[in-house]
Amino acid sequence: MAHSVESRLEKLGIELPEPAKSVANYVGFVLTGKLLLTSGQVPLHNGEISQKGLIGGELDVEAGRAAAERCAINVLAQAKAALGSLDEVRRLVKITVFVASAPGFTSQHLVANGASDLFVATFGDAGVHARSAVGVASLPFNAAVEIEAVFEVA
């Protein structure tokens, strides 16, 4: 990549937080071979869930996009913890976006764009990925969105 990933994040005004600690019997990431898999990341910001509730209910699509972006930032924090540098990422392979959805809400794909747009802005062509956007009844801690990712690494 012509510019380091961290310099791209800096230009976007994004500072990565400390990666979230596991709150149950799992780890934040697993590195196996040339794959890095992250556990699901919620929109945790300064120790609090930044967007709580159902998209299409108490929250609109824009709040969902913001939650997805915050989840993506937290995914990047886990990846940096695993690799030491985000420049070790060769490409983002796939993300799965879980959207806490009110009954009848069908725009999960628009919510997921909040994360997808950030990953492409961060990694350029290496950030273009496969994706699933899934509506669910609820998420841990009443989070509006949760995202997991699979990266190919050096």
Q: Encode pLDDT of 57-75 as tens digits.
A: 999 999 999 999 999 999 9
What gap in Å lies between CA 99 and CA 2, rounded to an integer?
34
Residue 1 in this model has a pLDDT that exceeds 50: no
Q: What is the pLDDT of residue 32?
A: 97
R_g of the chain, CA atoms, integer Å: 15
d(CA 9, CA 99): 25
Counts for the chain of helices (H) and strands (E), in that order: 3, 7
Task: Give the span between the Cα atoms of 86 and 77, in whole angstroms.
Answer: 9
What domains does the chain contain, in order, with CATH numbers?
5-19+29-153 (3.30.1330.40)
Per-chain mean pLDDT for the chain: 96
pLDDT band at 2 (very low <50, low <70, confident <90, very high): very low
Query: 89 and 6 in contact (C-beta within 8 Å)?
Result: no
* Residue 47 pLDDT: 94
State mean pLDDT over 134-152: 98
Strand partners, 93: none
Position 111 confidence tier, pLDDT thresholds 50, 70, 90: very high
